[in-house]
Structure 1
Amino acid sequence: MASSSLSRLREIARGHVAGSAASPAPVRELTYAPVDDDGLPVDPRLAHPDGPDVGLDGARLVETAHGPTIVVEHLHEADRSHGRLRVEACGEVCNDETLTLLAGRPLGDRSRLVYFDLETTGLSGGAGMLAFLAGVGEWTPDGFRTTQFLLPSYAAERALLHALNAYLRDDAVLVTYNGRTFDVPVMELRGEMQRVPQVVCDIPHLDMLHAARRLWRASEEGDRSCRLTHLEESVLGVGRVGDVGGFEIPARYFQFVRGGPAALLEPVLLHNRLDLLSLAALTAHAQRLVRDGRESPPAGATAFGLGALYERGGWNEAAVACYRAAADDHWQTRDVRRASARALARLLRRLRRYEEAAGAWRLVLQLGGRPQVLREAREALAIHHEHRAGQLEEARRHAVAGIEEAIGRGEREQFSRRLERLERKLARGVPATTPLWND
């Protein structure tokens, strides 16, 4: 026992403590720490003894009451293109109504849309992760202007946070991509640690990731994750060449704070600017879809996603038109058509348009699919024909089919009880037009 304890203490001293079989040690994210040429830790405040190298395109060193920070400004001219869109076209903001629909809630009467994206020293979160680059973009009469706040050293974080607050103010609407989960919590944590509450955490926020998932997840233009880099290529037609990999970004920054040349960060700054411009263009494109889709639903599976957005926002007639367009599109996959027909049937039933809902449920059955979906359609049609249309024989047919298609005892028993009731009605000659309840 003593020998075993001594061995364990030695392992602890070496930092090699084996976890139990039941609770394996968590895999930690690879992190980077600045070291000198001899492998010794470097105080990042001493990395640039003569001041940070600001030899970056559009960069200037800004002195604040809390120290220096680097600000990099860049303008994407209005007459240039970003993928298939001209920059000036990307800057069209339709109205507050479309933004409210995309956000799922009112964003208030704000005069500015600001697009926000962070580059950090890791992705795992926690107090050790720094946001070393905060990129902000907004539309101006000349085009899309990005203002990037770059951390020259760890000691300058307080200055960066104050400079960012002064720029954002409180009259803006924040637009991010997955910012609700990542960017805003990171800024909230860094603000708490530096005792500089962040404006970015308090202003109205539109996270475009959630709207993008509703719009494009079911279509070939999206993928299951709806990554921004995927959507900018498939929706906007943007192809990045030589873009820096996300795994490489922290390493470049750590080389910079060790005293490396500022040129190391040029690809990182470009990556961040492209993220901001693509986010702004995607937001404008989504707004136009929302604005125009009420009169003319878009083609393809995007109509299904747009219908979901409309329904969530209470724009029911527009949702019906979009669902119907997607369900009737024979060029679409059966999965998309079935999902659209199912959503259409549910919405029409909620709107008490029962005959139209029954037609949509029949299309669901025609397209086939998972047993749970078919059971829902069978049950809805059996209810409709028994209690609303008064067509007992048709209701009986759906009850019999439901028993045959049931995959569990509970489902079979439910349809069996319905079938028994229908057969009793048929035997007694119950008037077919007598409903069991009033709608």
Structure 2
Amino acid sequence: MESISDRLKSLGVQKGFAKKSESRDSRAQQGQRTLQSLLNGEVQTNFYGESLSIREVYPPEYRHGVTNLSHPIDTDVICKVSRLASDINLQLDEILFLDTETSGLGGGTGTFAFLIGLGFYTGQGFQVQQLFMRDPSEEPSMLAELIKITTRFKAVLTYNGKSFDIPLLNNRYILNGLTSPFIQYPHIDLLQITRKIWSNRFDNRSLGHLENQLLGFFRSGEEVPGWMIPQIYFDFLADHNPIPLSGVFYHNKIDILSLAGLTLLAGETLSYPNSTDIHQLDQLSVAKVYQTLGRTEEALSIYDQCIQKDLTPPQQLQAIMNSAEMCKRDRKWDLALPLWKEASRLGSIEACIEIAKYLEHTTKEYDDALAWTEKARMLILNQTSYYYQQMKLAEVEKRSRRIQQKTQREKSTNND
């Protein structure tokens, strides 16, 4: 009697399944070989298996847009702005630039990085290295390869990586039973620096926008938009066609190059804010950075240059009031007072209040203090916001009553 197994074999079920499985494996292997050849990559092998690595070196003369990537900068101010520990002293070739391409844009436990772009300086120039998992099973191998690379550097630099890339990678290391190299790794998030330097000039501070506006670099037709990237990878896993992936590798590579270019530009802007090449609005931002860092003399010098330039009244007011704030903190009244008077001429309520405080508490000139309080009150009444009016009016009227009481006490004392 014919068995069920024999009947299935006679129907070709087992044979057909084997052929389909072999066919899928064959297509996957062929797709991986084509991708490796297309990108001139090499297979990296370690204890956990295999993953793909692609390297490309950009020589010292390479220009990314208008930026020479070999231009030296002082990284000290970048470290300080990034709030790294004071004992960390970094050279540019000790920084690992990093950007990931992931299976989703929202993060979460199920999101993984399938492509990790890295950039670093070598004796031959700037090298971009991309780690890629051709199949999700290669994730442990790719992550282990990244651990090996990070040991050569002292810090990682990303763009919004504190919120996205590094937490995502830390999570993937945990899920794969590995220890993340980034747990105690000093981290410079360039997005936070660009917000401090270029916020006065650009509302859009995405990497792509800044590379256009500041680096003068425009991507070629190979570029694919970021929102398409997860689907392109999943399509590759399904059909093993590597051609669309070339645009993803291009996107990631340019992100790394632009990351390096913007880092150099940020370092130069922070180090030489009085250079004639620096935009006046960027100077205003850098002055605030120096003020925050406690570098008062340098900040005052930059603000002074800004005040003398053709800025809009709100921008001039920002420079004047920030300068006056530092002078007040150091009790340099001879410098603060003229600044407040200039700010009051531009309609600053706060400047009038500061002058009134100075006259009331420091010089005890109560009549003059009352006059400046009244000027503040008149400026408040011209404000359109009812809530702001009521809040500020309550403040200045309280001050006015207190000054009047002091005046009466003084007159009473003099009469006695």
Q: When the two structures are superposed, what TM-score results if normalisation uses the length of structure 2?
A: 0.83
Look up the SS of the partner of 1:309 in the other structure.
Answer: helix
Choose which of 248, 252, 255 in structure 2 pairs with 1:268: 248
Q: 1:201 to 1:264 in 2, by over 3 A?
A: farther
Q: CA deviation at 1:173?
A: 1.1
- Which residue of the partner structure matches residue 357 of structure 1? 336
Distance 2:30 2:209 in 1: 42
In structure 2, give the amino acid aligned to 1:130: F
Task: Decide which structure has greater helix share.
Answer: 2
Q: CA deviation at 1:262?
A: 2.2
Q: CA deviation at 1:422?
A: 3.6
Distance 1:258 1:46 in 2: 13
- Which residue of the partner structure matches residue 98 of structure 2? 116
- Which residue of the partner structure matches residue 393 of structure 2? 412
Distance 2:161 2:297 in 1: 31
**Aligned: 1:249 with 2:249:** no
Distance 1:49 1:142 in 2: 34
8 Å contact 1:310–1:318 — kept in the other structure?
Answer: yes
Q: CA deviation at 1:393?
A: 3.8
Aligned identity (percent) is: 24
- Which residue of the partner structure matches residue 187 of structure 2? 205
Q: CA deviation at 1:303?
A: 1.2
**Aligned: 1:385 with 2:359:** yes
Look up the SS of the partner of 2:116 in the other structure.
Answer: strand
Choose which of 95, 100, 110 in structure 1 pairs with 2:79: 100
**Aligned: 1:394 with 2:368:** yes
**Aligned: 1:321 with 2:301:** yes
Larger radius of gyration: 2
8 Å contact 1:338–1:364 — kept in the other structure?
Answer: yes
8 Å contact 2:31–2:242 — kept in the other structure?
Answer: no
Q: 1:126 to 1:417 in 2, by over 3 A?
A: closer
Distance 2:261 2:268 in 1: 11
Q: 1:387 to 1:114 in 2, by over 3 A?
A: same
Q: 1:51 to 1:240 in 2, by over 3 A?
A: closer
**Aligned: 1:334 with 2:308:** no
Gaps of 5+ in 2: 1-23, 382-387, 412-416
In structure 2, give the amino acid aligned to 1:136: L
In structure 2, give the amino acid aligned to 1:415: V
8 Å contact 1:184–1:201 — kept in the other structure?
Answer: no
**Aligned: 1:165 with 2:157:** no
8 Å contact 1:101–1:310 — kept in the other structure?
Answer: no
Distance 1:379 1:106 in 2: 38
8 Å contact 2:53–2:131 — kept in the other structure?
Answer: yes
- Which residue of the partner structure matches residue 257 of structure 2? 277
- Which residue of the partner structure matches residue 288 of structure 2? 308
**Aligned: 1:181 with 2:163:** yes
Look up the SS of the partner of 1:197 in the other structure.
Answer: coil
Q: 1:181 to 1:288 in 2, by over 3 A?
A: same
Q: CA deviation at 1:423?
A: 4.1
Q: When the two structures are superposed, what TM-score results if normalisation uses the length of structure 1?
A: 0.79
Distance 2:57 2:277 in 1: 34
Distance 2:169 2:64 in 1: 29
8 Å contact 2:32–2:240 — kept in the other structure?
Answer: no
Q: 1:298 to 1:357 in 2, by over 3 A?
A: farther
Q: 1:303 to 1:386 in 2, by over 3 A?
A: same
Please list, as runs of the form range in 1=range in 2, the aligned pairs for 1:190-229 lying within 5 A after superposition: 190-219=172-201, 222-223=202-203, 225-229=204-208
Q: CA deviation at 1:256?
A: 1.6
Q: 1:109 to 1:45 in 2, by over 3 A?
A: farther
Q: 1:206 to 1:425 in 2, by over 3 A?
A: same
8 Å contact 1:102–1:206 — kept in the other structure?
Answer: no
Please list, as runs of the form range in 1=range in 2, the aligned pairs for 1:55-70 lying within 5 A after superposition: 55-70=37-52
8 Å contact 2:31–2:240 — kept in the other structure?
Answer: no
Distance 1:192 1:47 in 2: 32
Distance 2:279 2:73 in 1: 22
Q: 1:365-400 CA distances to partner (integer Å, 9 max, x unpaired)?
A: 3334xxxxx432221111122333454443222111
Distance 1:280 1:299 in 2: 20
Look up the SS of the partner of 1:323 in the other structure.
Answer: helix
8 Å contact 1:58–1:74 — kept in the other structure?
Answer: no
Question: In angstroms, what is the RMSD of aligned CA positions?
Answer: 2.6
Please list, as runs of the form range in 1=range in 2, the aligned pairs for 1:365-380 lying within 5 A after superposition: 365-368=344-347, 374-380=348-354
Please list, as runs of the form range in 1=range in 2, the aligned pairs for 1:34-73 lying within 5 A after superposition: 48-49=28-29, 52-53=32-33, 54-73=36-55
Instruction: Tell which deviates more after alignment, 51-60 or 228-237.
Output: 51-60
In structure 2, give the amino acid aligned to 1:360: L
Q: CA deviation at 1:252?
A: 1.4
Q: 1:169-197 CA distances to partner (integer Å, 9 max, x unpaired)?
A: 16421111111001100001111111112
Q: CA deviation at 1:260?
A: 2.6
8 Å contact 2:155–2:186 — kept in the other structure?
Answer: yes
8 Å contact 1:214–1:309 — kept in the other structure?
Answer: yes
**Aligned: 1:82 with 2:61:** no
Q: 1:151 to 1:335 in 2, by over 3 A?
A: farther
8 Å contact 1:73–1:145 — kept in the other structure?
Answer: yes
Instruction: Tell which deviates more after alignment, 270-279 or 56-65.
Output: 56-65
Q: 1:218-260 CA distances to partner (integer Å, 9 max, x unpaired)?
A: 12xx22x411111112222112232211111112111222243
In structure 1, give the amino acid aligned to 2:115: L
- Which residue of the partner structure matches residue 6 of structure 2? none
Q: CA deviation at 1:134?
A: 0.4
Q: 1:233 to 1:363 in 2, by over 3 A?
A: farther
Instruction: Tell which deviates more after alignment, 308-317 or 335-344.
Output: 335-344
**Aligned: 1:136 with 2:118:** yes
Distance 2:43 2:229 in 1: 22
Q: 1:403 to 1:151 in 2, by over 3 A?
A: same
Q: CA deviation at 1:129?
A: 0.9
8 Å contact 1:218–1:336 — kept in the other structure?
Answer: no
Q: 1:179 to 1:121 in 2, by over 3 A?
A: same
- Which residue of the partner structure matches residue 4 of structure 1? none
Q: CA deviation at 1:138?
A: 0.7
8 Å contact 1:297–1:321 — kept in the other structure?
Answer: no
Gaps of 5+ in 1: 1-43, 369-373, 431-439
Please list, as runs of the form range in 1=range in 2, the aligned pairs for 1:277-296 lying within 5 A after superposition: 277-293=257-273
Q: 1:74-93 CA distances to partner (integer Å, 9 max, x unpaired)?
A: 1122212111122322xx24
- Which residue of the partner structure matches residue 371 of structure 1? none
Q: CA deviation at 1:205?
A: 0.7
Look up the SS of the partner of 2:314 in the other structure.
Answer: helix
